[in-house]
Amino acid sequence: MSTLWLILFYVPIYLIDSGFSHLEVGILISFFPLTSLLLIFPFGIFADRLSPKKLVIAGLVISAIFLLGLRAVSSFWGFLLVFFIGGIGSSLFRISLSALYYKFLGETKKGIKLGFFSGFMLLGYGVGPLVGGNLSMRLDMDSLLLVALFVLLVPLFLSLFLEDAKPAKFHFGVYRKDIWRKEVIILAALVFLLATHLGAEQTSLSLFLKYDADLPNNSIGLMFGLIGITISTLAIINGFVADKVAGRGRGLAPLLYLGMLFSGLCNILMFIPRAFASVLTLRLFHVLGDSTFMVSQKVTVSNLFLAERIGGSLGLLEAMHTFGIFGGMLISGAVPGYVLPFVVTGSLAVLAIIPAIALKPKF
């Protein structure tokens, strides 16, 4: 995640500076999750029926090809192809590693285990822009991509030591029974709606900080480093909270809704801040909501599905997550400015809570 966000967060700025329009940038960046949207469910099934360890390694190798491709192209269509390849590598790595983690999760202390896993993933979301922001003050994009390529060798080496899971054998129709349940459908809808703001973040947040808040790249990187450290810490704390709530025999639905509420409201309020301190404060409250929802959702997933076919089920939810990101990117390209996308996607998250409560899913 650190390597991915070392590059992805600054690519919109690089593309704008290279002469691409805001709409073109939105289309290019959206191809990254669009690829995942098309392939992540099959990749989830692959993680159940093939070697998830080998799939993790393959995802990292394809991601390296993505970084090399970004250094080699300059045209709109060239970038489109490279982002398509990058989406394949990223989604194959993410779904395979997550499925492998769930398969060895066990039945005790799920909250803290998933909070720990989510925390380190989110830490990468902060560390990547922090490092990238400071390096981009000294290096051009070609050099930054080369740095990312060398950094990627670290997880590629570590992946060789993963414990592998045995492939499972079962009829594909079992997935349909897993998916067509009220709780799964509602959870998938919530995941989709909350994820739209991530599309706004990937497309518009760096541009908002650069051109509306007038922050230099190293300040942008510092902000995301602080956000990453905060959200990763909150994810681990929320893992403890989820275990405490589950230990008392209560459902996790209130935590899910509370997370959506905090996340959505803080996105709606993005039209207010313009200085570093005020933007940072609002984003820290925002990630409190994000981390609460993420960890609660992951624990809910572990309760809803069997570990032996968790890959396909994760593939469905990751597809909805990615579909939401893609939708948020399209919103960012369609609505004017760099703030309104956050207001729109934040409103979607807040409004989704009411029908979800009315349907009373057993989370």
Do 21 and 30 touch, CB atoms closer than 8 A?
Answer: no
Instruction: Please give the angle made by the CA atoms of 8, 227 and 251, to the nearest 5 degrees.
Output: 105
- The reported pLDDT for the residue numbered 255 is 92
Nearest alpha carbon to residue 289 among 211, 209, 210, 234: 234
Nearest alpha carbon to residue 89 among 71, 70, 67: 67
Q: And the tokens for 206? A: 């760096």
Q: And the tokens for 127? A: 């560390």
Task: Judge residue 166's burial from the number of C-beta atoms within 10 Å of its C-beta, 0-12 exposed, 13-18 middle, 19 or more buried.
Answer: exposed
Instruction: Please report, for the chain, the start and end positions of each structural domain, with discontinuous segments joined by +.
Output: 2-165+172-359
Q: Residues near 1 by Cβ (< 8 Å), separated by ≥ 6?
A: 121, 122, 123, 124, 125, 128
- The reported pLDDT for the residue numbered 263 is 95
SS3 18: coil
Q: Phi first, then psi: what are they for 139, rounded to 5°? A: -120, 150
Do 36 and 29 touch, CB atoms closer than 8 A?
Answer: no
pLDDT of 149 above 80: yes
Q: Which amino acid is at 199?
A: G
Residue that has been written with the tokens 């991509």 in this structure:
145
* Angle in degrees, 0-180, between the axes of helices 340-359 and 310-334, rounded to the nearest 10: 140
SS3 180: coil
Percentage with pLDDT > 90 across the chain = 35
Which of 18-27, 47-56, 59-68, 155-164 is least confident? 18-27
CA distance 34 to 73: 20
pLDDT of 170 above 70: no
- The reported pLDDT for the residue numbered 54 is 94
CA distance 243 to 152: 34
Residue 77 to residues 12, 74, 80, 197, 328, Cα–Cα distance (Å) = 16, 9, 5, 26, 22
- Winning range, highest mean pLDDT, from 154-158, 178-182, 198-202: 154-158
- Which of the pair, 150 or 123, is modelled with greater confidence? 150
CATH of 2-165+172-359, one of 3.40.50.970, 3.30.56.10, 2.40.50.140, 1.20.1250.20: 1.20.1250.20
Do 28 and 76 touch, CB atoms closer than 8 A?
Answer: yes
Reported as a single tens digit per residue, the pLDDT across 259-312 is 999 999 999 999 887 788 888 999 999 999 999 999 999 989 888 887 777 888
Do 89 and 187 touch, CB atoms closer than 8 A?
Answer: no
Nearest alpha carbon to residue 136 among 222, 10, 224: 10
Rounded average pLDDT over 99-116: 87
Rounded average pLDDT over 186-196: 95
SS3 140: coil
CA distance 234 to 239: 8
- The reported pLDDT for the residue numbered 266 is 95
Q: How confident is the model at residue 187 (pLDDT cuts 50, 70, 90)?
A: very high
H-helix segments, 167-275: 173-179, 182-200, 206-207, 217-247, 253-268
Distance between the two ends of the chain, CA-based, in angstroms? 29
Cα torsion through 55, 29, 39, 142, rounded to 10:
-30
Percentage with pLDDT > 70 across the chain = 99
Rounded average pLDDT over 92-112: 88
Reported as a single tens digit per residue, the pLDDT across 306-318 is 777 788 888 888 8
CA distance 146 to 71: 8
